[in-house]
C-alpha cells in the first residue's frame, strides 16, 4: 500500500465533495475545483471521510494511488483555507507594483515587465523603505499558484554572486565568491 494513498481525508465543515463517475468536484468558500480520476482508483465517501483504494498492485496503479489522494487533499485545503506564496524582489532599483490582475516589475532591464495573472490568483505587493519589495500571491488552486510563482521567478532568477533577483521568502541562495577570492 502507498503510505500516502492509504491515509483517509476528513472533509472539513463548509466543504462539499461530490463524485460523478470519474470526476471529483470540491466546493468551498474560496471556490470550486474539478479533478478527473483514473478508473483504476476507487474513491468512497462515508461519514465525512474520503478513502482511496486501488484495484491492482501494478506499478502504474500504485503510482496513481498516492497522487490522486494528494491532489484531492490539496483541493480540499485550497477551497477551505487557500494557499499563499510570498516572493521578494532583491536588487538596487528593482520594484514590484500590483495593478488589478497585472504585476508590473522593474528588474534592471531596459524596459518594465507587465505580467498578466490568471483570475484565480490574487496579487498584492508591499514596499517598505529599506527593505526589498514583497509580492504575495494567493489562490485556491495549488498547482496554478506554483506555476505562476515559478513563471514570475524565472523572469530574474537569483544569481549566486550578489544574490540579486526574485526569490521565495526565506529561500537560501548558495553564494559564490567572486574572482577576487582566487587572487593572493
Provide DSSP, 6-35: TS-EEPPTT-EEEEETTEEEEEETTEEEEE
Q: What is the domain partition of the chain in residue ranges?
A: 9-80, 83-168
The torsion angles phi and psi of 181, rounded to 5 degrees, stand at -70, -25
Q: Are 72 and 104 in contact (CB under 8 A)?
A: no
Ranges under pLDDT 50 in the chain: 1
CATH number for the domain running over 83-168:
3.90.930.12
Per-residue pLDDT at 21: 87
**In the prediction, which pLDDT does 111 show?**
94
Q: What is the pLDDT of residue 80?
A: 94
- pLDDT value, residue 1: 47
Predicted pLDDT of residue 85: 96
142-154 and 59-80 helices cross at what angle (nearest 10)?
90
| Overall CATH class of domain 9-80 | alpha beta
Rounded Cα distance between 18 and 141, Å, is 18
65 vs 5: CA distance, rounded Å: 5
Q: Write out the E strands in the chain.
A: 9-10, 16-20, 23-28, 31-36, 41-46, 49-54, 83-90, 95-99, 102-106, 113-116, 122-126, 134-139, 165-168
Looking at residue 181, what is its pLDDT?
64
- pLDDT at position 182 is 60
pLDDT at 51: 92
Q: pTM of the full predicted structure?
A: 0.87
Task: State how far the Cα of 138 lies from the Cα of 135, in Å rounded to an integer.
Answer: 10
- Residue 71 CA to residue 77 CA, distance in Å, equals 10
* Domains 9-80 and 83-168 are alike in CATH topology: yes
The size of the chain, in residues, is 184
pLDDT at 179: 81
Amino acid at each position: 500500500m502507498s503510505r500516502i494513498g492509504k491515509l483517509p481525508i476528513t472533509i472539513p465543515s463548509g466543504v462539499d465533495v461530490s463524485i460523478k463517475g470519474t470526476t471529483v468536484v470540491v466546493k468551498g468558500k474560496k471556490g470550486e475545483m474539478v479533478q478527473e480520476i483514473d478508473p483504476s482508483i476507487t474513491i468512497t465517501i462515508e461519514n465525512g471521510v474520503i478513502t482511496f483504494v486501488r484495484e491492482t498492485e501494478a506499478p502504474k496503479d500504485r503510482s496513481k494511488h498516492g497522487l490522486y489522494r494528494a491532489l484531492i487533499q490539496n483541493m480540499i485545503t485550497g477551497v477551505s483555507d487557500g494557499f499563499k506564496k510570498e516572493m521578494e524582489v532583491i536588487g538596487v532599483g528593482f520594484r514590484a507594483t500590483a495593478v488589478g490582475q497585472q504585476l508590473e516589475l522593474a528588474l534592471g532591464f531596459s524596459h518594465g515587465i507587465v505580467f498578466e495573472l490568471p483570475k484565480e490568483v490574487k496579487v498584492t505587493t508591499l514596499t517598505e523603505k529599506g527593505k526589498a519589495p514583497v509580492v504575495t500571491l494567493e489562490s485556491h488552486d495549488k498547482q496554478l499558484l506554483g506555476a505562476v510563482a515559478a513563471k514570475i521567478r524565472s523572469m530574474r532568477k537569483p544569481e549566486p554572486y550578489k544574490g540579486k533577483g526574485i526569490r521565495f521568502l526565506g529561500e537560501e541562495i548558495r553564494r559564490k565568491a567572486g574572482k577576487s577570492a582566487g587572487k593572493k
